[in-house]
Structure 1
Amino acid sequence: MIEKSYTITSEEGLHARPASKLVGAVSPFSADVKMLYKDREVNLKSIMGVMSLGVSKGKTIKVTADGSDEESLMAKVDELIIAEGLGEAVSS
């Protein structure tokens, strides 16, 4: 299992368009992928789940991936969050 944390830097937070892009990007992978925020965990392959978290600017999320292609999946999440200007990785 891999986990990585991100601080959301986008003024709009994690709103519909980037959430949809994230869901679309991880859906082809077979690994299980979750997003954790404020003691809640949702399937990152579910747009409704991601939107239900209501993540705003300055907040930290954690993404976990578990499965045969978890490394590729996490690399895609990392790439998308940075490319879309959504956030930055939190150093461990």
Structure 2
Amino acid sequence: MFKRQVTISNKLGLHARAATKLAILAADFDAEITLVQGEKQANAASVLGLLMLESGIGKMMTVTAKGPDAEAALEAVCHLINAKFDECC
């Protein structure tokens, strides 16, 4: 299993468009990707689960990945989060 901490840095946080983008990316990998924030956790391929995390700007979360594509999946998910979900601001 691979694990990394990231901080949500886009202005709107993990809103519907960002969650959808993340879920689509997660579905591309043969890995189980989980985001953990405090006591809450969500499968990265579940838009509803991601929205239930209620992650706003400045929130820190742990991303874990396990499976055949775990390392590449973790790298891609963390890159998307650190790139502010490709949003301009």
TM-score w.r.t. structure 2 length? 0.87
Q: Classify the secondary structure of the residue corresponding to 2:74.
A: helix
Distance (whole Å) between structure 1 residues aligned to residue 26 and residue 57 of structure 2: 22
Matched, 1:79 2:79: yes
For residue 5 of structure 1, report the CA deviation from its aligned partner: 0.8
Percent of aligned positions that are identical: 34
Distance (whole Å) between structure 2 residues aligned to residue 81 and residue 8 of structure 1: 6
Where does structure 1 differ by over 3 angstroms across 4 or more consecutive aligned residues?
Answer: none
Which residue in 2 is equivalent to 1:14? 14
Distance (whole Å) between structure 1 residues aligned to residue 59 and residue 28 of structure 2: 27
Structure 2 segments unaligned to the other structure (5+ residues): none
For residue 40 of structure 1, report the CA deviation from its aligned partner: 1.2
Aligned length: 85
Tell me, yes or no, if the aligned pair for 2:33 and 2:43 is still in contact at 8 Å: yes
Which residue in 1 is equivalent to 2:35? 35
Structure 1 segments unaligned to the other structure (5+ residues): 87-92
Which residue in 2 is equivalent to 1:44? 44
